[in-house]
Structure 1
Amino acid sequence: DREMLFILPVLILGARSVVNVGVVACPEQSVMVVERLGRYHRMLTPGLHFTMPWPLESMRQLELRERPYHVKRAPAITRDNVDLFLDGVVYLRIVDPFKANYAVADPIDAMLILAQTTVRSRIGEMTLDQTFKNREELNSHVITALQHAGEEWGIVCTRYEVKDIEPPDSIMQAMKAEAEAERKKRATVLESEGVRQAHINTAEGEKASRVLESEAHRDAAINEAVGAADAVRAAAAAEADRILTLARAQAGATELVANALCKEGGELAARVAMASEWIGAFSELGGRSSTLVVPADTGSVPAMLAQAMACFDAVNSGASGPPPSRLAKAGKAARGAMEAPSRKQSRTVK
């Protein structure tokens, strides 16, 4: 207990001077500069040390930890002549106790004053808007200036931050009005953008609707055309089937007539049928047109029958040839028999 009472008065924590009674304890992250008879003698590291008592040896304690220090609020003038008040905080740490003790009387106070003057000079090179926008640049400039000066004083600046920038009330009101105008402008721009986007969406919707409508009309027209083409093809196919069926029926009828002519009594029956057909054809001439060209001897029935029999004889005379040639010859003979009398003598009946 007596030793503790003896050692406790030796250190006055937080003070630069230490009362030396022969035994001192240096705390961690601190050093003590020992002067013997007013001259630098040695440096005490953390721990317990025995020294010569005062006044032979005097001591000063220096703390090596990094500590923040407040930079006092000071006025400044910007490049555009605006008065400002600003303060900040700087972080300092002693790295060379010998220089910090002998190069400058009070290294901490010297660094704070230098930080204040450096900030004021830098603010004079910047406009008001730049002081608010470029705080990082201002902080870096102050740190660079303090580092350069701290090399000679055994102290380093690890960080500097501007705490507050306070412009005059008139400037604050103008800034608030500008901010309000900017907010109103943004609101107007956003509203106009919304209206424009709505019009764009409406136009795109109408465009898509018209495109779909035109595609529907096109598909309908294509379907109608395809249906009409299918109908035409179906009608053509039906007509072809009708003609083919009719041709087959006529061919069958012709074949039956030819077979009938080859039978016994067929010739006489053919003569009678041709004569009746001849007479029937002449009976229908009056109902077809108002102007007719007929043979001169239409009033003679025997002459008409003779012409019909001549046609039959022409057909019968060509019976020895193939069936197609016989039919062709029969047609030619019939036309010749009907046209010969008309070439010789004809009359016009109206």
Structure 2
Amino acid sequence: MDADSGVSGGLILILVLALVILVTIWRGIKIVPQSEKYVIERLGRLHKVLGPGLNLIVPFLDVVRHRVSVLERQLPHMQQDAITRDNVLLQADMVVFYRVLEPERTVYRIRDIDAAVGTTVAGIVRSEIGRLELDEVQSNRSTLNGAIKQHLAEATDDWGIAVTRAEVLDINLDAATREAMLQQLNAERARRAAVTQAEGEKRAMELRADAELYTAQKLAEARRISAEADAYATEVVAQAIHTHGTAAVEFEIRKRQVEAFAKMSDSQGRQTIVLPADLAEAFGTAARLFGGTRT
């Protein structure tokens, strides 16, 4: 009996030691998922942060105090009241995304990170919108979003997080303000239409004036050319008179009579032709003059 008792006691002791060793090994091995980081405390103080994968710690001394997700987080949809520089009350719909980069700061410097970020966003949005007029808030949305994100990143730097997105999605106004803006928009459209019509009429007048000026210039140019032609013809006649005397004048007169007769004979619908008495003489004189000039 004593031998059997000794064997049983030794076996139990071995089993207990084996169990203790297994528990110790189990507690000293930590496998961290890819989406998390573990904050380890040793004897109540921050010791280190475990990254994804297989990690070893000192059993019974090191304790996993916080399991922090490093996935990107989205705050609940926010609606923030603000007053613009021109005293217009509006409501801004906000969306904020952030990630935890340094879990040791997040868990030891702030108790409720989501509430802290939300409160900070509310203050920054009120401050930034208060610097702008309503038209600037609506037209420069990207500039406003950039300023909010920058100030939010500076304010939350000590918390070990990174703000990845902070945007004003929509601007909501009360009914009275919307009605006033609609009237202003209609008045602006009417003004632009009147300006466009006036500019069109002005352009049409300019085009008409240009056309009239162009016509006057062409008529003046035609008169000038005609005057130059008449002057040239006169100069030719004068030169002929100077060279041939009165014979050249008589030749020119007889030539004009012959041309006029040719035009009368070519005209349609004429049955009777009146011939001047000196037509034959005109032909003869022209022939003599023409022959004389050639000699």
TM-score by length of 2: 0.66
Counterpart for residue 171 of structure 1? 177
* CA contact 1:26–1:47 (8 Å) conserved in 2: yes
Q: Secondary structure at the match of 2:110?
A: coil
**CA drift at 1:67:** 4.3
**CA drift at 1:52:** 7.2
Higher relative contact order (CA 8 A, sep 6+): 2
Q: Secondary structure at the match of 2:75?
A: strand
Q: Which moved more, 1:167-176 or 1:106-115?
A: 106-115
* CA contact 2:82–2:130 (8 Å) conserved in 1: yes
* Paired letter, 2:231: A
**CA drift at 1:36:** 4.4
* Paired letter, 1:221: A
Counterpart for residue 51 of structure 2? 45
* CA contact 1:71–1:116 (8 Å) conserved in 2: no
State how 1:162-201 maps to structure 2 within 5 Å.
Answer: 162-201=168-207
Query: What is the CA–CA distance in structure 2 between the aligned matches of 1:106 and 1:21, rounded to whole Å?
Result: 29
State how 1:98-137 maps to structure 2 within 5 Å.
Answer: 98-137=104-143
* Paired letter, 1:171: T
Counterpart for residue 98 of structure 2? 92
TM-aligned CA distance change 1:233 to 1:65, over 3 Å? farther
Q: Secondary structure at the match of 2:47?
A: strand
Correspondent of 2:163 among 123, 148, 157? 157
Indicate yes or no: 2:86 matched with 1:76.
Answer: no
Query: What is the CA–CA distance in structure 1 between the aligned matches of 2:243 and 2:128, rounded to whole Å?
Result: 101
Counterpart for residue 218 of structure 2? 212
**CA drift at 1:66:** 4.3
Query: What is the CA–CA distance in structure 1 between the aligned matches of 2:244 and 2:92, rounded to whole Å?
Result: 105
TM-aligned CA distance change 1:56 to 1:66, over 3 Å? closer
**CA drift at 1:108:** 3.4
Correspondent of 1:141 among 134, 140, 147? 147
Q: Secondary structure at the match of 1:79?
A: coil
Q: Secondary structure at the match of 2:105?
A: helix
State how 1:283-302 maps to structure 2 within 5 Å.
Answer: none
* Paired letter, 1:133: S
Indicate yes or no: 2:63 matched with 1:57.
Answer: yes
Counterpart for residue 286 of structure 2? none
Q: Secondary structure at the match of 1:176?
A: helix
* CA contact 1:36–1:58 (8 Å) conserved in 2: no
1:154-182: per-residue Cα shift (whole Å, max 9, x none)? Answer: 12224421111111111011111111111
Q: Structure 1: which 5+ runs fail to align? A: 1-19, 243-350
Correspondent of 2:34 among 28, 39, 50? 28
Give percent identity, aligned residues only. 33
Q: Structure 2: which 5+ runs fail to align? A: 1-25, 249-295
* CA contact 2:40–2:62 (8 Å) conserved in 1: no
Q: Secondary structure at the match of 2:37?
A: strand
Query: What is the CA–CA distance in structure 1 between the aligned matches of 2:172 and 2:188, rounded to whole Å?
Result: 21
Indicate yes or no: 2:234 matched with 1:222.
Answer: no
Query: What is the CA–CA distance in structure 1 between the aligned matches of 2:50 and 2:232, rounded to whole Å?
Result: 110
* CA contact 2:38–2:64 (8 Å) conserved in 1: no
* CA contact 1:85–1:167 (8 Å) conserved in 2: yes
Q: Secondary structure at the match of 1:205?
A: helix
1:278-302: per-residue Cα shift (whole Å, max 9, x none)? Answer: xxxxxxxxxxxxxxxxxxxxxxxxx
* Paired letter, 2:187: A
**CA drift at 1:21:** 7.0
Query: What is the CA–CA distance in structure 1 between the aligned matches of 2:78 and 2:59, rounded to whole Å?
Result: 40
* CA contact 1:71–1:115 (8 Å) conserved in 2: no
Query: What is the CA–CA distance in structure 2 between the aligned matches of 1:46 and 1:56, rounded to whole Å?
Result: 17
Higher-Rg member (1/2): 1
* Paired letter, 2:197: E
* Paired letter, 1:199: M
Q: Secondary structure at the match of 1:157?
A: strand
* CA contact 2:128–2:144 (8 Å) conserved in 1: yes
Root-mean-square deviation (CA), in Å?
Answer: 2.9
* CA contact 1:84–1:167 (8 Å) conserved in 2: yes
Q: Secondary structure at the match of 1:28?
A: coil
* CA contact 2:31–2:54 (8 Å) conserved in 1: yes
